[in-house]
């Protein structure tokens, strides 16, 4: 079988046909991703979203123009999520408006608070944005950071303790 595959791969027409179908599959997946995103998030501008993104309560999400949402991200919008223009959410970013009220006795009840992400924000890979947070204009959130408090404009937030590199 290997010899047959090697023999056939030497013919340019077979290689062209294979590359054609690979490219056709790529184009079809891009279209599917776009239509899925527009169907789940009706209030989205001219933005792109990877097909593997998990969207919960898409009707509560407002997305501006020029937004890019990377693969394996999750937008959980029990409350409203507002994302401004020219925002980048890299691979694996989780934006979650819901949380558990730990001040009550078990079983814990859910609550949710809105999240606002302003224009020009870049949220790097594997970040977690939690309920009630506002991220200011042109802020940069470093990889793996958990955001539990508001972020100022033009801030660079990194690390487990949310160090602001602009302030140091």
Put simply, whether the predicted model's pTM sits higher than 0.85 gets the answer: no
Q: C-alpha 3: how far from its chain's center?
A: 44
Q: Yes or no: say if 119 and 86 are a contact pair by the CB < 8 Å rule.
A: yes
Rounded-to-integer distance, Cα 84 and Cα 45, Å: 10
- Give residue 163's pLDDT band: very low, low, confident or very high (50, 70, 90): low
pLDDT in tens, 111-156: 999 999 999 999 999 999 999 999 999 999 999 999 999 999 999 9
Q: Tell me, what's the pLDDT at 3? A: 82
CA distances from 70 to 6, 44, 61, 159 (A): 36, 15, 16, 21
Rounded-to-integer distance, Cα 141 and Cα 76, Å: 19
- Nearest residue to 144 via CA among 70, 93, 71, 96: 93
pLDDT in tens, 22-32: 999 888 888 88
- Nearest residue to 139 via CA among 124, 156, 163: 156
């Amino acid at each position: 079988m290997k010899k047959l595959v090697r023999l056939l791969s030497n013919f340019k027409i077979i290689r062209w046909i294979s590359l054609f179908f690979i490219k056709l599959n790529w184009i079809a997946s891009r279209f599917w991703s776009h239509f899925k995103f527009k169907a789940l998030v009706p209030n989205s501008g001219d933005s792109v979203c990877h097909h593997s993104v998990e969207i919960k309560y898409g009707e509560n999400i407002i997305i501006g123009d020029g937004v890019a949402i990377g693969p394996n991200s999750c937008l959980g919008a029990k409350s409203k999520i507002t994302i401004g223009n020219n925002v980048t959410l890299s691979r694996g970013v989780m934006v979650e408006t819901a949380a558990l009220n730990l001040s009550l006795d078990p079983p814990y009840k859910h609550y949710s608070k809105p999240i606002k992400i302003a224009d020009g924000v870049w949220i790097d890979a594997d970040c977690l944005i939690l309920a009630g947070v506002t991220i200011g204009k042109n802020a940069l959130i470093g990889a793996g950071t958990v955001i539990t408090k508001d972020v100022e404009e033009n801030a660079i937030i990194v690390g487990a303790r949310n160090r602001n590199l602009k302030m140091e």
